[in-house]
Amino acid sequence: MFAVRAAPDPLRRFAAVFAGAAVGTAGRIVVAAAVAGAGWASPTATVVVNLAGAFVLGWFVGWRDRRPGPGRILVTFWGIGMLGAFTTFAGFAKDIVQIAGDRWLGALVYGVGSILVGVAVATAGIALGRR
C-alpha cells in the first residue's frame, strides 16, 4: 500500500549538511565579492543573498510538495546545508545594528522591508515550484 522509507543515518545527514554548507558558503562569498566589486553599499550583499535564498528555498519547497518523495538527504543538502549557509541572519542583524547607529528609521525600513520582501519572494518561489 504505502512504502515507508527509513530515515537516513545521522552520518549521511551530517555529510549532506556539510557538503551543502560548503556550496552555500562559497556562493555567498561570490555574491559578496560581486556586490563589493560593483561598489554597492554594505548591506546590499546581505539583502541579495537573503532574498535569493528565500526565493530558492520557497521554490524548492513548492517543487518538493508536487513530487512524491524527494529523499531526505536531498532536502537536508539543499534546505539546511546549502541555503542555510548561503543566507545570513547574523549579517542581517549586524546590518540593522550598524544602520541604527546613524539612522533608526533607516534601520527599521531595512529590517521590516527585508522581512516583507523576503516573505513575498518565498511565496513567489513556492508558487513557481508548484507549477
Q: Summarize pLDDT for 81-118 with one digit per residue, the tens.
A: 999 999 988 889 999 999 998 899 999 999 999 999 99
Nearby residues of 101 by Cβ (< 8 Å), 6 or more positions away: none
Structure pTM?
0.81
CA-to-CA distance for 14 and 1, rounded, in angstroms? 31
Mean pLDDT confidence for 10-15: 90
CB 64 within 8 A of CB 70: yes
CA-to-CA distance for 40 and 89, rounded, in angstroms? 20
CA-to-CA distance for 20 and 25, rounded, in angstroms? 9
